[in-house]
């Protein structure tokens, strides 16, 4: 059984399809009543939710590796990190496309663009777009590992902007939003502390995950 789970986890395509399954779920839930009141709002909220969920999953991998350095499944997931990030972008693209279709006119869009809620979401989206475009092996080679890594650190800026986006939304659930972001921030703080302070004290060169 464990062997089978490991084989499945190792398969990039399995993880990719698994992460795309929520699209089917959204459609099913939609036809079971979700589309009844306001279909645009329903799909907008659901796609936003999955963009955020997958973004949080991909961000948790590195701090979890510091906490559980021996965990085999984390090592396997690390290999899929770029692909998981791209899946998050796919949901963001759906979320953004629905917004564009709903906003309808350029005037409405430009008017909305100055709202902190839309502005923070849009900049986060542009960052995810840049990261998705540069997520291929060819791009890693072209940019060089160091520059590529620095560029991909923008994911933290995007995450902060997503935090602002979700918190600035009308009728946002502040408590739930904090529950999404605070544990991750603490875990990242610990990773930072572990990487810089602990390893420096021991005179160890900086590990690869920083």
Binder among 7, 97, 150, 172 for ligand HEM (CB under 6 A): 172
Q: What is the end-to-end Cα distance of the chain in Å, rounded?
A: 34
- Counting contacts by CB under 6 A, is residue 128 touching ligand HEM? yes
**Environment class of residue 151 by beta-carbon count within 10 Å: exposed (0-12), middle (13-18) or buried (19+)?**
middle
Contact flags string 148-167 toward ligand HEM, x per CB under 6 A:
--------------x--xx-
Query: Closer CB to ligand HEM, residue 16 or residue 160?
Result: 160
Asked whether the beta carbons of 120 and 168 are under 8 A apart, the reply is yes
Q: Could you say whether residue 45 binds ligand HEM (CB under 6 A)?
A: yes
Q: Is residue 124 a contact residue for ligand HEM (CB under 6 A)? A: yes
- CA 7, chain centre distance (Å): 24
Pick one of 22, 26, 34, 51: the residue that binds ligand HEM (CB under 6 A).
Answer: 51
Q: What sections of 144-208 are H helices per DSSP?
A: 145-152, 154-168, 174-193, 199-201
HSE-CB of 99 using CA atoms within 13 angstroms = 21
Can residue 10 be called a binding residue for ligand HEM (CB under 6 A)?
A: no
63 lies in the binding site for ligand HEM (CB under 6 A): no
How many beta carbons lie within 10 A of that of residue 112, not counting itself? Answer: 14
Q: Which of 15/54 has CB closer to ligand HEM?
A: 54
Residue numbers at the binding site for ligand HEM (CB under 6 A): 41, 44-45, 48-49, 51-52, 55, 92, 95-96, 99, 118, 121-122, 124-125, 128, 162, 165-166, 169, 172-173
């Amino acid at each position: 059984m464990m062997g089978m789970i490991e084989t499945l986890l190792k398969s990039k395509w399995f993880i990719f399809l698994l992460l795309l399954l929520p699209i089917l779920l959204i459609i099913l839930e939609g036809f079971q009543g979700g589309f009844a009141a306001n279909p645009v709002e329903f799909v907008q909220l659901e796609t936003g939710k999955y963009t955020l969920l997958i973004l949080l999953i991909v961000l948790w991998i590195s701090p979890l590796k510091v906490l559980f350095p021996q965990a085999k499944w984390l090592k396997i997931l690390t290999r899929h990190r770029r692909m998981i990030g791209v899946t998050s972008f796919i949901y963001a693209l759906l979320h953004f496309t629905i917004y564009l279709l709903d906003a309808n006119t350029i005037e409405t869009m430009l008017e909305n663009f100055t709202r902190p809620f839309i502005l923070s979401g849009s900049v986060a989206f542009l960052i995810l777009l840049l990261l998705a475009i540069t997520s291929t092996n060819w791009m890693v080679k072209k940019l060089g590992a160091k520059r590529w890594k620095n560029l991909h650190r923008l994911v933290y800026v995007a995450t902060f902007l997503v935090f602002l986006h979700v918190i600035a939304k009308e009728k946002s659930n502040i408590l739930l939003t904090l529950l999404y972001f605070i544990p991750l921030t603490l875990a990242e703080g610990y990773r930072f502390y572990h990487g810089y302070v602990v390893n420096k004290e021991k005179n160890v060169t900086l590990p690869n995950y920083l």
